[in-house]
Each structure stands twice: as structure tokens, then as C-alpha cells.
Structure 1
């Protein structure tokens, strides 16, 4: 199903109909010799993201948690994730990490509405795609393509996306990500062990692992952190010589002899007099002057001397003897017998020099590597083994259901303890797994986005890491739930879980609360000029706060609400204690900034202890003054949602 694309697909529009972004993509495809995935409806799927309309956000305060400043840091959106991503236009290019756990296309977890092919704004949920549906892979790719496109645009230049998947769509997802993000930006394919006991699942080989595909928006600008060191790693450091600092031995030589030819020479042992050279292809890893200082600490005098050993060094470097640069070796100046006696005396005394020759003095040159000097972390590998995921993150005093049945049940056990059993959600990732991803690819002050939030594991992980490490990460979670059953996971499960994590009032026990909060908002009406101008004040307040974007404050929390009953115009404040005022009593009354309205705004700002800079949303600017920053309704709101003021479809351009 993959081929090099050298021309427009059959179902593509003409060149004149292509957008600028599509033309650039087409030109890049012509220039590349790589393989690009092809599937029926791909051309239409590529345009879907630009045809989806953003929505207004209606805050449901009872489902949120925390004070107003705490709520402003994090956001939970109830609704379709494609529409939600379009609504989050103001956050494009600002997200550090996206964690996505999309449906695995198992035959019972994925819906597709055929009407989305013509109108991606169609509200229908679609039917479940059965495992025997001949078009199930095509439908899944048409569903995922525009979402992956929009996720990529949400990432900052050095941002990272981590997508969870199993064997069913692994290869198709990998091809889509290779094409959208480019193969050179693939950071890892993580293979994590979800269960350690073979299951009788009627397959030839029992599936014990799942995968996380990790891509950077730009590999050169992305950063992968070190993982915390384990006690087992630190236990390798000891002090057999009585050194007050614990250490472990490491080879005094390293690779790349061909690039460091002047660091290939002999070092004479003070114990045996043997001349030691680096191993083939290796060179000494420390400057000669430093090695000379360390070796004289064994009680003998040394000097640099030409040993006429070009042939020996040439073999190590892998070049002809005539090409070997002249380098002198480090050799004894003190007679060997006297040097050996001094060295053995120092060996018995303990606290050896940093360059040593084994614990008995008969080994090759080695260096002491002190624990306090090594990087305080470990490099991640692509296989994440079972020891990380066998037990829930907190056991407490209450038994956890299902923990004995394998790693795939760990997340369910954690969720059971927090919200109680019988929640009906059986695709929960272990908390440790998500924490590990966040630690690796989201900075301590970064933003995490989860467009398939499920039970809220990502939000829980952010709150817990913030509490444990003092980090200030923020999250945005999107979850539609099951509106066809009248049971939204976003409300009944996700919000409930996060509120219990924040309060510490778990269903099974009371635990330490996790500081933080979040706003809970539901997608509402499609955004266009007519919809905005017909809004009542409450709707307009939510829309202003949802849409506001300040290019000078690309990080930091958004606007936080003020008590609407106390003030007529003041609706929010930002982190700089500047007030935001809405002149809007409905579509037909009091919508303009006049002198009288301005005086009331100043009075309200003074009462609320706000700075004398007034951000005012209104229909018309009828009173001019330097201390007002004016936002016209509906034009500014439409622009902040990414909509062209001429009414054209949504566009990132």
C-alpha cells in the first residue's frame, strides 16, 4: 500500500485548487526519493484539518477543580479531538510533548462516520468499525491522518510526539509518521512489556508487548532527558581503597584512535615496568599532561621519551607506520625496582591516585570514575522491561484488584483504587509508563497535550510529577467519552479521577493531595461571525477566555476568571495582573466601548487591584485612550481562532 508519489493522486484537486501548504508538500514529495504511504481518500484526508471549524468552549465549573489561578494552568476539553485541536489554534507551536493513545482498531474501540469524508464537521459519531470490515485500515488512516497533521502543528519547533499503538496498526502508523514528520525525526520505537505471562489468545505468538512511536518535529532541536538512576546502578560504586568518595573503575582508553592519533602512545607501569598501549582502534581518553601528573603520585619520577615505536602505534591506529605522528611515551625515570617498591607501599596505604593499575597493581591502566562526577541519570533504551510496570504506583493499605494478572492490568488497578471499580474503562496505561515519557521529553516547565485522554492518566502523571519534583508542567486533555450512551468519560471518569488526585480523596483510601487544578470546558457552537454576534454574555465570556492569545506571552498560564456577579465588565485577569473586560450584554445591547463604559472599567480595575492597563473586548471602539488595548468583536476572536476574516476555511497560514 506504499509507493513513491511522483504525481497527483487520482482524487486530487487541480494545482490551482491546492493551498500553499499542499503545494509545498507536493514539491517536497517530488524532490524526495522516499516512499510515501497511499490509501483511498488520502487526498481528502489531507484537507480535512483545514475544513474543520473550531468551536466555542463552554466552561462547566462543577467538573473542574482548584482555585481560579490553578484552573488557568490546565484544561480538560470534552468533545471531538479534531474539533478541539482546531479550537486550540492559539496554542499552536507551543506544546512541548504530545502523548497520544489512539484507538488500536481492535473491532470494538473505533468509530467512523462516512459523512466525515464530505463534511468533517458532521456531528454523527459513526458506527464501530468491525474487525472483519474490509476497509477498516483505510478508515483508521483517514481518521488518524488529519489528527496527526494538527498534532504536528501544535508542537513547538523542538517538540516531541509519542504515539501508543499495538501490532494491529503499527506499520501503517509508522509510515504515516515517517511521511508527516520525516524519517530523520524518528527518535525511537519503544517496545514496552505490558505482560510477563503468556496468554492463550489463539495467536501463534502471544503478544506481550506494545509500542510507543516517538518523533520530533525537528530532531536537531529536540532534547531527550536522562532517566533517574536506579539503586542497582549506584550500588556498583564502592571504595575498595578507602577513598572518601565512592567510585568504580573505567577503562583509561576510549575509541576513535584514527581521529586522535597523538593520544596513542605507551604508558609504563610503576609496578611491573610493562609498556601499556591502548587497545586496537582506541586511544587514551585523558590528556597526556594529566596522566603524567597522576602516575607520578605512585611515588616514582616519570618522563616523556621517544620509544621509536611507530610500528606498534600504527597497528593500533590502523595506518601505515610512515603516517604515524611523532609522540613520546610516558616512561619511568626512577629505576624499576625502586619505583615498584614505592608503588606497592602506596597501594597498601590506600586512597590510590585516579590512574591505577588494578587492585593488585598488575592490571592495565584504569581510571577511577566517581559517582558524584557522572551524569545523574541513565540513557533510555528502546526496550522498557517489566520491572517498571508490574505494580501500581501507590499500594497503600488497600488491596489492588487485578495486579496479579499482568502488567496490562496495572493501570486498571490504579484507576480502580482512585474512582472505584466498575468504571467500564479497560484500556488504561500504567502511570509509571506515562511518567517515564513525560520525564524524557517534556521540560519541567513544559506543556503536555493528550488528544485521546481516556481516564486522564496523563493529567494524573503531570500532577504527580509536579508534586514530587517541584516542576511546573501544564496539561491539556481532550476526551469525547461515550455521548451515545449518555455517559461521558470526560465527566464521569476523567474529571472525577483528576479531582480525587488533587483532593487526595480516593475511593479506596485517603492519600496525600496533589497541588494543582484544571478548567473543564465542553465544545459548543461552531465559531463564525454570525454565531459570535448572536451570543449571550455568558457564552461570549467563555469564548473570549478560550480564544485569547498574546504573542508576547507564549508560555505561562492563560486567563483566569473573575467572579462575574461582582463586576459588570471585568471577566478575567492574566498572570501580570492585567484585567480583561467584556463590553457585551447580549447581541442587541451595550456592546461598544464608550467614555462612560471606560470610567466604569477603570473603577472595577481599581477595586480588583489590577494594573492600569485595560484589555477590552467590544463591538466598536468609540472612546480613544492610550491605556486600553482593544479587541474588536467578532474580528479579533475569529483571528485568534485561526479563521480568515473573509470567511474562508480554517487555515494555519
Structure 2
């Protein structure tokens, strides 16, 4: 059996550089948010003129080589989903456009993790962050931004005698870009009986011929070809409806809740905490496994939603593993749907704060927290765990900002 989780302790730039090209399908990660208080690199980078780099300049310089390596290790069909808040969202978006190419931008998702909003400090009570999603190559990317999560059975109010829930969709194409001039093969008569509901491509006793028209009476087209309508007449129905000028009959498609392959719906770009979890539920998840030893972990529901957009055998990477949420989510989803996803989580042995709950629990580094969580996941959820410590000679990576740092990324 393939081990689901691998944890590597080490500097993520060193580990990423050592990884083979195109070796992962999905990167899900949550880098340092650079609040100005706890970003370890603020005092180490130097600008082009030798002055100490500002916090934004330093953060961009820190992130660039790591994003370049994430891009390198992604398969051509792969994608990246990276969390960020307002402190660096604008710079990260520009940086990703530069590294991945703006043509490979897929979405900027607003993630609502805090229903009450942050009440400390002045200004607004911020209750959202962002998830930036990019492909390695948009033309080859296999990310499917549809999900079963947001399908509401209440949207399918009609039920057949054999218990199949469905809704009625007009068979007429409502987009006026499609018309008898642009798509002439989709303008043809269908024959229906509003009393029995029967529809056929050929006339039958009691039927009336229907041509697609817009509400203003202009000629329209059907969404289905005549071949498809002939193959699936039982998915069509002739119904009488109340139109603007009184009752009239028209042709409708039965859209089934239990569609082949499972009913899926496109993800919106605002994700609410009721759907994916919150800061409270994420803290409870971690506390249940190893205690309250990490500030603001991400909920597994957020990561599982991202994971579901990719095939169920995806090779997942989290270079800023933090508390190990991504590895936890991979194991949970594999159990849920029988998938064979694998996850490599990377974390540096950054010391935990003296006197913190983590330090008092004997977890002296953030890597210890990741390791402890993934061990607990392997024990309680399954999937096993491979552990590795990655070492290499120390290298001074902070002498200067990269020479090719785009001017528009500088503060």
C-alpha cells in the first residue's frame, strides 16, 4: 500500500530544489503572511543600494525563488492554490503573474474563515483571506472547478414516479449569440404534446410542432442537436407554462439530480465558513489530535475543497506545512472517497515561542508540531507516514535581492 503522507524537515527552498521536475500535481500552501511582527527575514535582506530591505521587498525576495521551484516541480497538468491576506495579496498576485504567467491565473477566491471578524485594532473587522489559484499550463490543467459540495437538492423540486428528483430547464438556448444564423443546425422543429408531456423529433398523434423562439418572438435555437434529441426523448418534456402573453407550451429538458458521474456545480469565488470550516473548527481539529499548539491553523474543509478539484490520485505538496493541515486533509479525503492521493509536507525547524503552549508541550520547533500532527493522523485516520530530515551545507541566501526582481513588485 502506498504511504499517503511524507514529512520532510528542512528549508523548503533546499528541499524544493532537490525535488524532480514535474513531480507533483497540486501545490496547496499557506506561506508567512508578513504582518510585520513575525516575518523572520525582515532584517536580513539588503536592497540594490545596500540599504536594509523593507518588509514588502524582503517578503517578495523570500517568496520568489520558492515560487519558481514550486512552478518547476508542478506537472504540466497541475495547479497551485496559495493562501494569503491583505498584507501581501497585491504583491503575491503580481509575483505569481510573473512566475506562472498571468494567462495561467485561474481564480482569486475570497475565503471567509472568521464569521465575527477580527475585533482587535482599529479599522474594519476583517473576516476574510484569499486563495490564489494558478495552473502550470492552463491549456493542459486538469483542475475541475466543479463540486458536489454546493449542489442543493432543493433546486430539484420535481420527482418522477420512480423517485428521481429533477428540475426543468428550457431547451431553448437563451443566449442570443446562438441563433439560426450562427448555428443553423440547432434550429429545427420538435414535436410535443403538453397533455402527455411526450416529445419526439418526428410527428405523432396529438403532437404540435415547436420551433425555438426568444421571448420577443425572434427565431432561436435549441441547446441539443437533433441527434441528441432523438437519442434522449425521455429526458425531454412538453409543458404548458404561463408566459407574458398568457399560457403557452414549450419544450423543456429534465435535468436530473442523480446525473451520470454525480451532480456537480461550479465553485463560486466566495467560500463561506459554513461550507469549509472556520478558525474555530480548525483549532478544534488540531486540539483533538495534539492539543492547542499552533496559532490559526487552516481548516481541513478548506483544503479538502481544493483537493476535490483534482484527480483522486493527485500527488500533493505543501512547502509551508505549518501544523500539517494539508496532509491531514489528504488522509481524510482518501478515507472518504477511496482516493490514493499522496502528500509531501515540508517545514523548517523554526523554534516555537518560549512559554507558548507548543513549547510547554515539548514541541520546540514548528516542524515538531507538523510531525506530531501527521503522526496522530496516521494513527487515527490511516495512510501511514514517512519522515525525513533534509540537510545540506549552510548557504547564505540573503546577500542581495534577485537582480531580475520586477520594478512593479517593489514597494
Q: Which TM-score band applies after superposition, normalised by the shorter structure?
A: 0.7 to 0.9
User: CA shift at 1:165, angstroms?
Assistant: 0.1
Residue 98 in structure 1 maps to residue 23 in structure 2: no
Secondary structure at 2:27 match in 1:
strand
> Displacement of 1:454 after TM fit?
0.5
Aligned to 2:274: 387
The answer to whether the aligner puts 1:214 opposite 2:133 as a matched pair is yes
2:250 aligned partner: 364
Task: Tell me, yes or no, if the aligned pair for 1:454 and 1:494 is still in contact at 8 Å.
Answer: yes
Cα deviation, 1:429-479, whole Å, max 9, x if unaligned, reads 0110011111113x2222111110001001101111112211111111111
Q: In 2 relative to 1, CA 264–411 (structure 1 residues): closer, same or farther, beyond 3 Å?
A: same
Distance in 1 between residues matched to 2:231 and 2:145, nearest whole Å:
33
State the partner residue of 1:286: 224
Q: Deviations over 1:303-331 (max 9, x none)?
A: xxxxxxxxxxxxxxxxxxxxxxxxxxxxx
1:253 equivalent in alignment to 2:172: yes
Partner SS, residue 150 of structure 1: helix
**Contact 2:76/2:140, CA 8 A, preserved across alignment:** yes
Asked if 1:144 is matched to 2:51, the reply is no
Question: How far is the alpha carbon of 1:70 from its aligned partner?
Answer: 5.5
| Aligned residue number for residue 495 of structure 1 | 371
1:373 maps to which of 231, 244, 259: 259
Q: Deviations over 1:255-293 (max 9, x none)?
A: 322431242356676459696532258411233466589
CA contact (8 A) 2:42 2:53 kept: no
User: Distance between the aligned counterparts of 2:307 and 2:6, measured in 1?
Assistant: 17
When the two chains are superposed, the root-mean-square deviation of aligned CA atoms in Å is: 3.2
Q: Is this contact kept in 2: 1:435–1:461, CA < 8 A?
A: yes
User: Which residue of 2 is the match for residue 411 of structure 1?
Assistant: 282
Q: CA deviation at 1:526?
A: 2.9
1:268/1:471 Cα in 2 relative to 1: closer, same or farther (>3 Å)? closer
CA distance in 1, matches of 2:231, 2:61: 66
Larger RCO (CA within 8 A; separation ≥ 6): 2
Contact 2:150 2:265 in 1 (8 A): no
Distance 1:457 1:517 in 2: 15
Gaps spanning 5+ residues in structure 2: where?
Answer: 196-207, 396-411
Q: Deviations over 1:325-365 (max 9, x none)?
A: xxxxxxxxxxxxxxxxxxxxxxxxxxx87221147984432
Mapped partners of 2:235, 2:89: distance in 1: 53
Mapped partners of 1:164, 1:445: distance in 2: 23
CA distance in 1, matches of 2:100, 2:240: 50
Residues 187 and 215, structure 1, Cα contact 8 Å, conserved in 2:
yes
Partners of 2:248 and 2:153 in 1: CA distance: 27
Q: Measured at CA, do residues 240 and 195 of structure 1 come closer, stay the same or move farther in structure 2, by a change above 3 Å?
A: same
The 10-residue stretch of structure 1 (93-102 or 197-206) with the greater mean CA deviation from structure 2: 197-206
Paired residue secondary structure (1:520): strand
CA contact (8 A) 1:294 1:355 kept: no
Q: Can you list the C-alpha shifts for 1:588-621, whole angstroms capped at 9, x where unaligned?
A: xxxxxxxxxxxxxxxxxxxxxxxxxxxxxxxxxx
Where do 1:119-198 residues align within 5 Å? 135-198=54-117
| 2:302 paired residue number | 433
Displacement after TM superposition at 1:236 (Å): 3.1
1:527-566 aligned within 5 A: none
Scaled by the length of structure 1, what TM-score is found? Answer: 0.50
In structure 2, the residue corresponding to 1:220 is in which secondary structure? coil
Where does residue 36 of structure 2 map in the other structure?
107
Structure 1 stretches of 4+ moved >6 Å? 292-295
SS at match of 1:515: coil
- Structure 1 range deviating more: 273-282 or 149-158: 273-282
SS in 2 for 1:284: coil
Q: Which residue of 2 aligns with 1:483?
A: 351
1:209 deviation in Å?
A: 1.0
Highest Rg: 1 or 2?
1
Q: CA deviation at 1:216?
A: 0.6
Q: Which residue among 76, 79, 102 is the counterpart of 2:7?
A: 76
Residue 134 of structure 1, CA deviation:
7.5
CA distance in 2: counterparts of 1:140 and 1:204, whole angstroms? 24
Q: 1:278 to 1:198 in 2, by over 3 A?
A: same
SS at match of 1:97: strand
Counterpart Cα distance in 2 of 1:186 and 1:84: 26
Match of 2:400 in 1: none
TM, length-normalised to structure 2: 0.77
| SS, match of residue 357 in structure 1 | strand
Does the 8 Å CA contact 1:276/1:365 hold for their aligned counterparts? Answer: no
How far apart, in 2, do the equivalents of 1:113 and 1:198 lie? 28
Establish whether residue 242 from structure 1 lines up as the match of residue 111 from structure 2: no
1:557 corresponds in structure 2 to none
Judge conservation of contact 1:269–1:276 (CA < 8 Å) in 2. Answer: no
- Is the CA contact 2:147–2:309 (under 8 Å) kept in the aligned structure 1? no
Report SS of the residue matched to 1:222: coil
Q: 1:241 to 1:135 in 2, by over 3 A?
A: closer
Structure with the higher fraction of residues in helix conformation: 1
1:264 to 176, 179, 187: 187
